Amino acid sequence: METADPRNSVPPGRVAPFYGFVAAVAVLALLVSAGPLIELPGRLAGLPVAFWTMAALAVVCDARPFVPPGRRQSSAVFPSTCFTFAILLGWGLGPAVAVQTIAVVVSGWRMGHSAWRSGFNAAQYACALAAAAAVTGLGPGGIFEGGHLGWSDVLAVGGAAAAWFVVNYGLVSTAIRWRFGGRWWPGFRSGLGYELISTGSLLLLAPVLVTAARASAALIPLVLVPLFAVYRMAHLAAEQEQLGALDPLTGLPNRKALLAEVAEQVHLHAERAARGEPDAHLALLLIDLDRFKNVNDALGHAVGDRLLVEVSARLAGAVGERDLLARLGGDEFAIVSTGLTGVDAARETAERLVGALAEPVELDGLPLDVGGSIGIALYPEHGEDFATLMRHADVAMYDAKQRSDTVAVYAAESDHNSAERLGLLADLRRVLEAGPAGRDDGRGAAGVRGGDGAALSAALAPAVAGRGGAGRSTGGSARWGARRHRERSGPAHPDELIQRIVTAADPIRRRAAATDTGPEQPADTGPEQPADTGPEQPAEPGGGGATEADPGTGPGAGAAYAEPTGRRPGPDEPGNPGEITMYYQPQVAIATGEVVGVEALLRWRHPRRGMVDPEELIRVAEQSAVMRLLTRRVVDDVVEQLAKWSAAGISLRAALNVSVRDLHTGEIADQIADRLARFGVRPERLQLEITEGALMADPRRVLATISRLHAIGVAIALDDFGTGYSSMQHLRRLPLSEVKVDRSFVLGMADDADDAAIVRSMIELAGALGLRVVAEGVEDERTWRLLHAAGCDVAQGWFYARPMPAEELAAWLARYRPLRPAAREAESRPPRAR
């Protein structure tokens, strides 16, 4: 069972040195005060009334010491210090030690101190009084033995007070050091200012008290008036502080009180941890009510306030006696749960709170259903101070809301606003504000740099123009959003090896990789080509060179579509560290094998982190104004690259996928129109991809922006088709030219009859509406053939080519030979539906 004051116990392993120090102080106190105490009985009869008055006041006042608000019990102020120091100055060491010892015993009994603690306090005061007596003995004689006080007497009194303070405070600080460990000086310095003000004031009041006693003992009680005034003012200040720490609506503690409680409990639980106790954990639980805004909007704030009062009463009944329930404001509450053994105990507390909110609250006969989302942060695992615990509990609470759960414990991978990500956002802003290296006026021809900064050789233009697949391009899409593809086996570049190590060590990036790229489809982090290891299309050894089709499977039998191995730029090469670049993945017409477009993927090689995961990059940018800079940069790069490809004889259409923020403002339409005119690119060569989620965010404003882009001549494609909302309504109302079937359906259609049926249905629906269909995530030949049989127009994925920089794409197009599917019924037949 927990004692009345945790300071009555000593941590294991420190018992011997601590009690040894206490014994040494006690022996020293006996040595310095034994003589005066032995002489005291013979002096009692001659002591004046003034002495007895001071002695009585010292004992009575210490029976109720003053504990300042917001401080621990160990910071209590004992008025006996004033009276015992005055007794020392007036009647010597023996009477002062005796009175101080009695006052310590009385105050220790009142405050529940253990015997060793009261004994140490009495010993430390005896040593302090002995040091003060030694300093007064250096003076010219008895300080208050008749006559006027001189400067030497005043100096002796000041020196005695300083000696008392140094010895007393030094012994206490050393005892804390021996008891809890750690460095001595930080502990000594932390409480020095408070002790100088409180104890120093009492010491300096003692000479005034002795001077009054010389005139008349009746003047001594008058010192209680200023002491009581100070005491009363302190209590009034404490009461005001308590009122300032309460929520006026519910009467619960507020954020200020919560902060003080967490600071106090962190200190106490640190002591428990030092003692090796199992219940050394505390939890900060943050509760946010669900649907409270609906109540305010529908029934008014008066009903909302009554609801908060009722909810606070329910929560108060669900928390433990040792726990603190606070209202932070609005519909947010917080609970400090102490003495826990771990996260399971914190979850039990959270489940009790969930149960308290499960039943509807009835107000004026109307049942109001308000649940809550609870986030948990545990000390010391998730933080060791209020600010950290509060932020992590807030992260966990929002994580619970996003997962439609009631309780969530803080996890580092859920913290999207960590210091690392804030630093990444700052780096991204600097990269975007610096602009791309080597950008020209956008009117370049063959031989100039492309949109990714790579030089485009003029020698490629004739070869590329002579290819039927690339030269007669009629459509395609480019996307700068994050895509993930299966990686080919093969030796990894040293930078890639470092990147994998960093990902494994970083819980945020590790979770992102595990969530977004399952074992069937790892994240695409660079040019390395993953292998299509299905039985229909074995990969060529080496994993990065040409891949050959299975001989004898149709008109394209034996035709190789080569992919350049390329070399990743080193992090120290000019223009590469911290540079935003665009990688391009071809899109191929399934029926003819012609390349009809590319998809652009955003890439950022960070100077310290290596290749930043694209999904993380977008997630970092989209919640800030940096997204606007990123969109401008991508539009500029892609439109400029289209102009340079056109100058090299490559005619491709590209599509951009912008954020919801861009579609809301409508500024993107003006920007695209300006860039098309500046670089001399025809509008029909640009396509904008939007997601259904972006449409649902604000359909009216998004539709207005899309209509403006359509009027300019920019084509509109619906991306991730089948994963959003109200698809039929959007297909009917929007000026669409293309839909993209999400890779989550395409990847499984070769083995899953349901996925295959869904893909076929989407292709038939889009075809009936006159829309072109693009399938993403085509990874193997069987999926390619099934899409052809279903009537899909265009496909993209690792079956054809990996994403690559603009220069490598031009070389790939020069070597590409169209691959057409074989018209074999057996291999084209879809799997039978269940």
Q: What is the pLDDT of residues 567-594, one digit of tens each?
A: 434 444 433 337 888 898 888 999 888 9
Question: Do 795 and 778 form a contact (C-beta atoms < 8 A)?
Answer: yes
Question: Do 179 and 10 form a contact (C-beta atoms < 8 A)?
Answer: yes
Strands 595-606 and 579-589: antiparallel
Strands (E) located in 360-507: 361-363, 366-368, 372-379, 407-409
The answer, yes or no, to whether residue 793 has pLDDT greater than 90, is yes
Residue 112 has a pLDDT of 77
Least confident of 67-81, 687-701, 785-799: 67-81
Residue 68 has a pLDDT of 57
Q: What is the mean pLDDT of residues 600-622?
A: 80
Nearest to 657 by CA among 552, 553, 582: 582
**Residue pLDDT, tens place only, 351-376:** 888 888 888 888 878 888 888 889 99
Report DSSP letters for 697-717, one per residue: H-HHHHHHHHHHHHHHT-EEE
Question: Do 440 and 448 form a contact (C-beta atoms < 8 A)?
Answer: yes
Helix, strand and coil percent figures for the chain, each rounded to 5: 55, 15, 35
Nearest to 28 by CA among 111, 105, 134, 112: 134
Q: What is the mean pLDDT of residues 267-282?
A: 84
Tokens of residue 644, six digits? 């340079």
- Of the pLDDT bands very low, low, confident and very high (cuts 50, 70, 90), residue 643 is very high
Give, as one character, the DSSP assignment of residue 736: -
Residue 458 has a pLDDT of 41
**Residue pLDDT, tens place only, 70-89:** 455 555 778 888 889 888 88
Q: What is the share, in percent, of the chain residues with pLDDT greater than 70? A: 70
The answer, yes or no, to whether residue 470 has pLDDT greater than 70, is no
Give the C-alpha separation, 152 to 135, whole Å.
12
Report DSSP letters for 780-801, one per residue: SHHHHHHHHHHT--EE-STTT-
Give the C-alpha separation, 466 to 649, whole Å.
9
Least confident of 74-78, 244-248, 617-621, 829-833: 829-833
Nearest to 653 by CA among 627, 676, 678: 676
Q: Going by C-beta distance under 8 Å and a sequence separation of 6 or more, which residues neighbour residue 474?
A: 596, 653
Q: Going by C-beta distance under 8 Å and a sequence separation of 6 or more, which residues neighbour residue 359?
A: none
- CB-hemisphere CA count at 13 Å for 257? 25
Residue 411 has a pLDDT of 83
- Of the pLDDT bands very low, low, confident and very high (cuts 50, 70, 90), residue 678 is very high
Give the C-alpha separation, 786 to 115, whole Å.
86
Q: Going by C-beta distance under 8 Å and a sequence separation of 6 or more, which residues neighbour residue 425?
A: 620, 621, 624, 626
Mean pLDDT of the chain: 74
- Of the pLDDT bands very low, low, confident and very high (cuts 50, 70, 90), residue 491 is very low
Helices (DSSP H) in 596-681: which residue ranges? 614-621, 626-647, 660-665, 667-679
How far, in whole angstroms, is CA 817 from its chain's centroid? 50
Bridge partners, 516 (sequence order): none
Residue 679 has a pLDDT of 92
The answer, yes or no, to whether residue 475 has pLDDT greater than 60, is no
The listed range with the strongest mean pLDDT (265-279, 421-435, 468-482) is 265-279
Give the C-alpha separation, 518 to 641, whole Å.
33
The listed range with the strongest mean pLDDT (138-147, 246-255, 809-818) is 809-818
Burial annotation 622-645 (CB, 10 A radius, 16+ → b, else e): eeeebbbbbbbbbbbbbbbbbbbb
Residue 273 has a pLDDT of 83
The answer, yes or no, to whether residue 553 has pLDDT greater than 50, is no
Residue 253 has a pLDDT of 87
Write the CA distances from 158 to 85, 132, 208, 508, 800, integer angstroms: 12, 9, 12, 61, 91
Residue 358 has a pLDDT of 84
| pTM beyond 0.75 | no
Give the C-alpha separation, 703 to 710, whole Å.
10
- Assess whether 599 carries a catalytic annotation: no
**C-alpha angle 38-39-42 in degrees, rounded to nearest 5:** 120
**Residue pLDDT, tens place only, 434-460:** 777 655 444 333 333 333 333 334 433
The answer, yes or no, to whether residue 519 has pLDDT greater than 60, is no
The answer, yes or no, to whether residue 210 has pLDDT greater than 60, is yes
- Of the pLDDT bands very low, low, confident and very high (cuts 50, 70, 90), residue 330 is confident
Write the CA distances from 438 to 175, 452, 455, 637, integer angstroms: 68, 10, 10, 12
Question: Do 663 and 706 form a contact (C-beta atoms < 8 A)?
Answer: yes
- Of the pLDDT bands very low, low, confident and very high (cuts 50, 70, 90), residue 499 is very low
Collapse the DSSP code of 102 into the 3-class scheme (helix H, G, I; strand E, B; otherwise coil) and give the result.
Answer: helix
Give the C-alpha separation, 579 to 775, whole Å.
30
Least confident of 140-149, 255-264, 351-360: 140-149
Query: Torsion angle, CA of 530/531/536/537, rounded to 10 degrees?
Result: 100
Residue 520 has a pLDDT of 38
Nearest to 782 by CA among 752, 807, 805, 816: 752
Give the C-alpha separation, 261 to 256, whole Å.
9
Nearest to 459 by CA among 807, 801, 803: 807
**C-alpha angle 508-509-511 in degrees, rounded to nearest 5:** 70
Where does residue 599 rank: exposed (0-12), middle (13-18), buried (19+ CB within 10 A)?
buried
Give the C-alpha separation, 798 to 480, whole Å.
17
Instruction: Please compute Rg for the chain using Cα positions.
Output: 40
**Residue pLDDT, tens place only, 145-195:** 555 666 777 788 888 889 998 998 888 888 877 776 656 566 566 667 767
Residue 533 has a pLDDT of 34
More confident residue, 541 or 247: 247
Bridge partners, 740 (sequence order): 774
Catalytic residue (one of 776, 779, 781, 807): 776
Collapse the DSSP code of 241 into the 3-class scheme (helix H, G, I; strand E, B; otherwise coil) and give the result.
Answer: helix
Residue 639 has a pLDDT of 92
Nearest to 421 by CA among 701, 590, 622, 200: 622
- CB-hemisphere CA count at 13 Å for 314? 23
Q: Going by C-beta distance under 8 Å and a sequence separation of 6 or more, which residues neighbour residue 15?
A: none
